[in-house]
Amino acid sequence: SVSARRWGLVASATRMVSFGDVSPHLQKKYHDVLQVEAALLTASQPGRSLSEALRSGVEEYRLLGYGEEWTFHHQGGMAGYQSRELRATPNSLWILQTGQAVAWNPTIRGVKCEDTVLVRHDGLEVLTTVQDYPTVQVQLGQEVLTRPAILIRH
């Protein structure tokens, strides 16, 4: 995980690296955390509140069998001049607007994912894409997102 500042703004990203094969159990947990992230990302739309987006992620945790896992680590929120200017909570009233940045970081013990994205009227723009990093496709409903895979080094 890294947060970096450029031109006064902070962006955050998390990538997973394994120095050896990844167990099927860990691979499944990583796939599941990407599903939660997909729920958070697709719910991050102009006019929706941070709490609405968070509820989408919390529901995905529940559907995947992780219940209260979301309570063990903050899930992210508004990004900008700090890595999190405003953390999302179930009571967050902040309404997302076009041009604002969010950084969600869902976590299931042992795995985490995170990118900083710009909320746009026509979807999200990932600001922290890493060139030549392996990716996987994550489908949530009709949405298909390209997300970072676990980088495996032997």
**pLDDT tens for each residue of 90-137:** 999 999 999 999 999 999 999 999 999 999 999 999 999 999 999 999
Using a 10 angstrom Cβ sphere, with 0-12 exposed, 13-18 middle and 19 or more buried, the burial of residue 81 is: exposed
pLDDT at 33: 98
The per-residue pLDDT for range 12-66, each reduced to its tens digit, is 999 999 999 999 999 999 999 999 999 999 999 999 999 999 999 999 999 999 9
Token pair 């894409």 in the structure block, residue: 129
Query: What pTM was computed for the model?
Result: 0.96
Mean residue pLDDT across the chain: 96
CA angle 19, 138, 44 (to 5 degrees): 115
The pLDDT of residue 88 = 97
For the chain, what percentages of helix, strand and coil (3-state, to nearest 5) are there? Answer: 25, 35, 40
Distance of CA 28 to the CA centre of its chain: 17
User: Could you give the CA distance from residue 45 to residue 48 in angstroms, rounded to a whole number?
Assistant: 6
pLDDT of residue 71: 97
Q: What is the pLDDT of residue 2?
A: 94
pLDDT > 90 in the chain, percent: 97
C-alpha to C-alpha distance for 8 and 79, rounded to whole angstroms = 12
* Distance separating alpha carbons of residues 59 and 64, to the nearest angstrom: 9
